[in-house]
Amino acid sequence: MTTHGISRLPWPASTAEHRWYGLGRYYAMFPAPFVTNALTEFTRPDDMVMDPFSGRGNAPFLAAAMGRPSISIDILPIAWLFTVAKLKPSQNADDVLSRLHDIRRAVRPHDCRARSEFEKMAWSSIVRGFLRAARRELNWKESSVDQTLMAFIALHMQDSTPSGLSNRLSPTVAHSPSYAVQWWAKQGLLDPPQTDPVAFLTKRIQRRYAFGVPNLAHSTTKLGDARTELKVMPSQYVRLLITSPPYHGVTDYWNDQWIRLWLLGADMHKDWKRTQKHSHLGSYRKLIDGVFTQAKRHVREDGVVIVRCGDKPTTADTCREAIKSMWPRWEIFERRSEITRRGKASGYGHESKTIYEVDIISAPEELSDRARSWAVNPAL
């Protein structure tokens, strides 16, 4: 079974690297050992690492914490926020705590009003007011202090414990408002917890900063479409491109995150027009081809490309073909593995499900032996 790998991080629990790695609930993320193993096998300190579909930022964070500069991109604001908050956190907790108090002072009476049954049952009026003030006041795209605070709020606005900021919610996948309301009613969870958001977040912020901030190599992380970002970026000299693209027709990254995206400025409902499920095969191929076409310019001739993707042929074939057409002279090796993941739950419990994934590795001839032996090892 693959876990998020937090217990298998290369740093002791009493380090900032260990403490900050876990910031951000996100699914389909890389297990830490998968990334640290690839970094150890194929890079040295100061080698550039790139992840153009970086999710909550596991690969760039682990690379930077192991002394490798990183470039990462994600199109989803919440994924980028968790990444930037880890890679460039505010340097001290006091600034974040002081901003937390600013937000409390900025709450206006009408911020506390529930606009729907969902809002009424999800958060107490004090939490609702706090979330609305944070949504209005925090400059999460530009200010490092505001980014850090916003990441803490986003992490806890959707809590699964009865003493958190919200009524019980799945902490990763946001269900529809009507499903949530019916589910709470059925469980008798009619009232949200009366938690003080400032006291609650103060504890979490202090805990995260208990060992300071991680010592990281230089990292660049962009919010946007990887096709565009890679095109406009000056040429890099990437030793390892390690990534996991969206799988064809599997996850709707936008609608599954709608509650946190509301905090970042989107409307308070799922929006099917904004779906990011990548169900249309033609557009999916265009996305994967487009990203690898742009990535090619940045990868060194003695670089390595590693892609973890779903084993469904429409996903794996698309990824394999894109790599082959960009690096036609490189050899490709693959391994298929069974992964047990905490799946998307129908209720708010965490059901496990088994899925199959493929790791594709491509490297120039001089690295073929190492790439081949990497691919015959069991997946991490």
Ligand X SMILES: C[S@@+](CC[C@H](N)C(=O)[O-])C[C@H]1O[C@@H](n2cnc3c(N)ncnc32)[C@H](O)[C@@H]1O
305 near ligand X (CB under 6 A)? no
287 near ligand X (CB under 6 A)? yes
What is the per-residue binding string for ligand X in 58-97, x denoting contact by CB under 6 A? x--------------xxxx--x------------------
Rounded to whole angstroms, how far apart are CA atoms 363 and 50? 15
> Which CB sits closer to ligand X, 9 or 287?
287
Residues 6+ apart with CB under 8 A from 28: 55, 244, 247, 251
Query: Minimum distance from CB of 274 to ligand X (Å)?
Result: 12
- Half-sphere exposure at residue 110, Cβ-oriented, CA atoms within 13 angstroms: 1
Which region, judged by CB under 6 A, interacts with ligand X, from 109-117, 148-156, 245-253, 292-300?
Answer: 245-253
225 near ligand X (CB under 6 A)? yes
* Sites for ligand X among residues 1-60 (CB under 6 A): 26, 28-30, 53-56, 58
Rounded to whole angstroms, how far apart are CA atoms 106 and 110? 12
Which region, judged by CB under 6 A, interacts with ligand X, from 122-130, 146-154, 206-214, 241-249?
Answer: 241-249
User: Contact, 26 vs 83, CB < 8 A?
Assistant: no
Rg (CA), the chain: 21
Rounded to whole angstroms, how far apart are CA atoms 230 and 291? 8
Closest CA to 298 of 357, 248, 207, 229: 229
226 near ligand X (CB under 6 A)? yes
Query: Minimum distance from CB of 325 to ligand X (Å)?
Result: 18
Query: Minimum distance from CB of 188 to ligand X (Å)?
Result: 35
Query: Minimum distance from CB of 216 to ligand X (Å)?
Result: 16
Q: Which of 21, 130, 200, 253 binds ligand X (CB under 6 A)?
A: 253
CA 369 vs. chain centroid, Å, equals 32
**DSSP per-residue codes, 25-45:** --SSPPPHHHHHHHHHHH--T
Interface with ligand X (CB under 6 A): 26, 28-30, 53-56, 58, 73-76, 79, 225-226, 244-246, 253, 287
